[in-house]
Structure 1
């Protein structure tokens, strides 16, 4: 009895002491402090940014992402006591909420009249404060999206500031606001209250880059930014995967490859530590170390091992050809390249190995490192799997990737840990993923889409990841999907069209969504996947320099023909282009935009962006809801008889004529007009008369209609699936000189 009384007295003392500290620290009322103290103690709440919300000048609307049943109680404890809280029906009626409801004025949520009520506008205009709780869906349905429209309309009418609030970690609490069981249940997660700076509705709309005067998407984007801000921006790759292991469980299977080998988070990080120790023997901190491996567990182990050891992974594109590989090695000043004898032999990469050596690098074979692993080393790694070998900062370089070279010589792109983690979490804040998902990644990791979206995003978010070594195995990949039953997949149109042709009905029926990038998705490909597998292709857009994803469609916000909307935290600038009437050249800025380039004329030297803005080289137009449409490449314009012709636009037009075939439009030198347009196509039925007729129907200038047609069995492509326009143009010139054009 004495012990129980002592425990009760100690609990009361800690409670009272915490309440006093929080009252003084945050300026809470005594009642608020007393009721906030247990939350602070149980959930170790990080609340340093709540001062932004409390200090916001009225009139103000606090928009809270409603994830768990405790969210309203927390906000009633922390927001100024003159705030009017609009509670959902469950919170308004719940018995346990009664003490918190006494802290401030509350009304029950009723979407039919609350959000069109003039009373709320009057409350705000009278220097009032309003707290609105919006459902936590990353991809809200149309009904939920009405709340965004209502809130921004009220804020605009009252000239009120908007303060987004997101409680990081609350999504794992078992008492979920929706009533559904969360994908991962944790009774006592650490909570982090993310609060963004107050902004008026017009300021939000202006930031969104939209010409619309009232735009719910502006608020939607701001709420996604609050979600993104709740993640730790100071993590390295190793630390991010380590945190995922601790959050989802060290024993959880994180990774599997085509050999059937499975790795839990603990084994993955322990293996990375073992490799990292080896790497420290023949490399130096900060050195660029080449990685020439296929999609396999060993590749992820090598990446995390290099990250743990403070080295930079330079992912060698072994499909780019010996000349490009040699240039890449020289540009990034790579001294050591990690590879596998078995892989080189199977993939027949002897010429690429020679190119690596010609570039001045030495091959280190993973097979040769295995005998050096001792039992004591394994024991230490198993014991210390949570700790990196070498401490470094998130702003340090993490990987070097090489641009596709689809239109010219590849450049080395230097991405920091922060760039990569930010892009993975930007994706998580836009597209719904959870530890219930299974991801199938067939895209190589030397391609930025395959690295960040296909590999890092699943690992960091507890999604079980299956790596397949090559996207070119068109008949085998549907069989893998039939067995694995993935819910998430990533690909490029070229590959997806081939998988659909080879697949049996039902092979991909388990997919919840399929994200496509690297090239435009053809209408035919989209239709086949929709009809045969009941799967929507979510088209996105990116570039290596943006780590790579910049925009994406989602399941509930999907506009066919566009690449979706910018990811949260990104900004765009569009500059006019000669000859382009609508839209312009796209520039991007954001936490995922690269540190800078290395180029062949300045090898090993990081050349940072001068002003933080990346010139994408893409010509785009943006509608009033922020959906981006790619209309062409600045480099893919031809100037014929003084007129600027978009080669990409002509290519899309030709695709509509023969949708089941592949086409590439290139320009070649012409003595009379400077340049002329050539169609390279797999369509055996292609003819000039059909092209001229299509041109007249579309109302395009006669100059833009291809005058020459070159028929091929296959269009040259890069390892990413993109059309290799450099090789295609060389092919066109060769055929034209030989007189073999139609």
Structure 2
């Protein structure tokens, strides 16, 4: 009995001490502080963020992202006691909420009709405070979205400041509102309150651009920003992977490939720890080490080993050819390349290896390194799997990716840990994913979309990942997908269209959605996936310099013909372009934008952006709801007779006539008009007359009709799936020069002979390239 009294006294003293600390930290009343003491003890609750939220002068609307039933109890105790909490019946019935309701004002009614309640309007106009609980839905349905409209209108009517609030990790509580199969339950997860600065609805709209969003969409984006900023800004890639392992379970199988099987989080981290010690011994802190590996488990382990060792992973594009790979190595001052003999042999990349070694760069073969690993090393890694070899900071370089060179010479893009972790969080705040999902990634890890979306995102959010080594296996990939049964797939329009041509209707039946990027999605591709596979293609937009995702459509915010709306946390600046009506050159800024470039003229020297804004080089139109329509690249316009014509629009027009073929519109110098459009196409019977008739029928300018049509056996494609315009332009110019010589040899006969000459030249010019591609494949 005495010991029980002593224990009670000790517990009371402990809770009293915690209550005094919470009162000092948050500025709440003693009654509220006592209510916060218990979760501070059991869940290590950090409620300091509400002090700034509570200091905001009324009228104030606290917009709370409700993840668990316990959330309402926590905010009843943490927010100023004169706050009126709008509770729904389900939340109000929870025992913890009932216990905390006496601590503040509360009312229970349908939140979707709250705007019609005059009491709330009077309360806010009287400088009052209101707490509204939003469902924690990344993609809210139409009914849930009414709440955003209601709160936005209420804020506009009363001039109230909106303060977003959430409790980090609350979705893993036993009282979570997310189904257990989507969010694994934990008994005592660490809880942290997180908030954004107060802002009126007008100020929130201005953050997204007054002509680029509606008040309801702006509020929705603000709440999405709250979700992604609740991620620890100091996280490194390795630290984020360890946190994911602890959150979803170290034994959870997370990655699988077609050869070596499946690995759990802990196996990945143990392997990374073993390799990290070796990498650290052969390099200097912060040194860039080349990674020349296919999509496989070994690439994942190697990547995170470099992060653990405090080295920078320079992802080399093995499809770029020896000259470009060696140029990338020299640009990033890479002394060591990590690769696999089995991969080199299967991919027939021996000439690339020769070029690398002749450059004086050392190649480390991972199979040989694996054979020399000792038992003590394995035991040490098993014991210390969650600890990195070297300490790094979130703002330091983590990855170097090399631009594909569609507009010129490739450059090294330096991305920090924060860039990648934040971009994954931004994407997760816009598109709904969970541990129920599995992602099928065919995009190479040397491509930014394949790296961030296809590896970092699923690993950090508990989504099982299946890696496939090449996106070019059009017949095999549907068969593998039928076996793996993924719910999500990433790809480009070129690859997706190729898979659909060979797939059975059941092969992709498991897919919930496909995220497509790198190039515009054709209407025909979207229609095929919707009608045959009951799967929506969510088109997105980005670039390597933005880690890469900038915008994406989602299930509830989607518009065909656009690339979606900008991710939360990304600011957009538009600049008018002479000669293009309704189109603007887009600049972006945000925590996902790169640290800077590495260029061949100054090897190894980071060249940052001058003011943090990145010029995308894209001409866009953004509608009043924020949907972005990409009209073409600034360099992908032809100036004909003083007017700007989009080459991308020409390609879309031609694609509608011959959807089964590939086309590339190019700009070529012209003495009379300055520039002219030349169409490279795999359509053998393409003619200008049909294009002219289609242009007239669509009400488009006659300037879009190509001056010349050059038939080709195929259009060159980069490893990322994009059209290789540089190579295509070189080939077309060579063909046009040949045509010119043929015309001269015929005493300058009529131009009607030109198409035939182009066909003859195309056949002759393509033969060696076809053999080279076959050998490369």
The answer to whether the Cα contact below 8 Å between 1:402 and 1:411 also exists between their aligned partners in 2 is yes
Q: Secondary structure at the match of 2:6?
A: helix
Q: Secondary structure at the match of 1:355?
A: helix
The answer to whether the Cα contact below 8 Å between 1:245 and 1:266 also exists between their aligned partners in 2 is yes
| CA distances 1:129-175 after superposition (whole Å, capped 9, x unpaired) | 00000111111111111100110100011011000011110111122
Q: Paired residue for 1:472?
A: 472
Q: Paired residue for 1:547?
A: 547
Q: Paired residue for 2:724?
A: 724
Q: Superposed, which structure 2 residues align to 1:256-271 within 5 Å?
A: 256-271=256-271
Q: Secondary structure at the match of 2:629?
A: strand
Query: Given the superposition, is the C-alpha separation of residues 96 and 642 from structure 1 closer, same or farther in structure 2, using an over 3 Å criterion?
Result: closer
After superposition, the CA RMSD in angstroms is 1.5
- 1:294, 1:478 → 2: CA distance? 19
The answer to whether the Cα contact below 8 Å between 1:60 and 1:128 also exists between their aligned partners in 2 is yes
The answer to whether the Cα contact below 8 Å between 2:182 and 2:435 also exists between their aligned partners in 1 is no
The answer to whether the Cα contact below 8 Å between 1:308 and 1:390 also exists between their aligned partners in 2 is yes
- 1:182, 1:634 → 2: CA distance? 43
Q: Is 1:503 aligned to 2:503, yes or no?
A: yes
Query: Given the superposition, is the C-alpha separation of residues 213 and 485 from structure 1 closer, same or farther in structure 2, using an over 3 Å criterion?
Result: closer
Q: Secondary structure at the match of 1:97?
A: helix
For residue 91 of structure 1, report the CA deviation from its aligned partner. Answer: 2.6
For residue 212 of structure 1, report the CA deviation from its aligned partner. Answer: 6.6
Moved more, 491-500 or 670-679: 670-679
Structure 1, unaligned stretches of length 5 or more? none
For residue 358 of structure 1, report the CA deviation from its aligned partner. Answer: 4.2
Q: Paired residue for 2:752?
A: none
- 1:399, 1:212 → 2: CA distance? 33
TM-score (norm 2): 0.93
Moved more, 68-77 or 321-330: 321-330
- 1:336, 1:62 → 2: CA distance? 53
Q: Superposed, which structure 2 residues align to 1:99-118 within 5 Å?
A: 99-111=99-111, 113-118=113-118
Q: Paired residue for 1:406?
A: 406
Q: Paired residue for 1:533?
A: 533
Q: Is 1:614 aligned to 2:614, yes or no?
A: yes
Q: Paired residue for 2:78?
A: 78
Query: Given the superposition, is the C-alpha separation of residues 182 and 8 from structure 1 closer, same or farther in structure 2, using an over 3 Å criterion?
Result: farther
Q: Paired residue for 1:27?
A: 27
Q: Paired residue for 1:568?
A: 568
Q: Secondary structure at the match of 1:741?
A: helix
| CA distances 1:274-305 after superposition (whole Å, capped 9, x unpaired) | 11111122211111111000001111111111
Q: Paired residue for 2:50?
A: 50
- 2:327, 2:383 → 1: CA distance? 41
| CA distances 1:210-269 after superposition (whole Å, capped 9, x unpaired) | 427852111011111111121111111111111111111111112111114221111111
- 2:585, 2:696 → 1: CA distance? 28
The answer to whether the Cα contact below 8 Å between 1:58 and 1:160 also exists between their aligned partners in 2 is yes
Q: Paired residue for 2:589?
A: 589
The answer to whether the Cα contact below 8 Å between 2:277 and 2:389 also exists between their aligned partners in 1 is yes
| CA distances 1:329-355 after superposition (whole Å, capped 9, x unpaired) | 111111111111111111011222233
Moved more, 377-386 or 13-22: 13-22
- 1:63, 1:571 → 2: CA distance? 22
Q: Secondary structure at the match of 1:273?
A: helix
| CA distances 1:371-406 after superposition (whole Å, capped 9, x unpaired) | 320000000000001111011111110010001111
Q: Paired residue for 1:741?
A: 758
The answer to whether the Cα contact below 8 Å between 1:215 and 1:625 also exists between their aligned partners in 2 is no
For residue 418 of structure 1, report the CA deviation from its aligned partner. Answer: 0.6
Structure 2, unaligned stretches of length 5 or more? 740-756, 760-777
Q: Secondary structure at the match of 2:422?
A: helix
Q: Secondary structure at the match of 1:138?
A: coil
Moved more, 525-534 or 11-20: 11-20
| CA distances 1:434-474 after superposition (whole Å, capped 9, x unpaired) | 11111111100000000000000000111111111001111
- 1:156, 1:433 → 2: CA distance? 33
Q: Paired residue for 2:749?
A: none
Q: Secondary structure at the match of 1:454?
A: helix
Moved more, 90-99 or 80-89: 90-99
Equivalent pairs counted in the alignment come to 742
Q: Secondary structure at the match of 2:110?
A: coil
Query: Given the superposition, is the C-alpha separation of residues 56 and 112 from structure 1 closer, same or farther in structure 2, using an over 3 Å criterion?
Result: closer
Q: Paired residue for 1:87?
A: 87
Q: Is 1:169 aligned to 2:186, yes or no?
A: no
Q: Paired residue for 2:230?
A: 230
- 1:444, 1:248 → 2: CA distance? 26
- 1:632, 1:358 → 2: CA distance? 40
- 2:443, 2:356 → 1: CA distance? 23
Q: Paired residue for 1:132?
A: 132
| CA distances 1:69-125 after superposition (whole Å, capped 9, x unpaired) | 011111110111111110011233445433311111111131464232232122111
Q: Paired residue for 1:691?
A: 691
- 1:634, 1:449 → 2: CA distance? 22
- 1:654, 1:10 → 2: CA distance? 79
The answer to whether the Cα contact below 8 Å between 2:291 and 2:316 also exists between their aligned partners in 1 is yes
Moved more, 554-563 or 728-737: 728-737
For residue 509 of structure 1, report the CA deviation from its aligned partner. Answer: 0.9
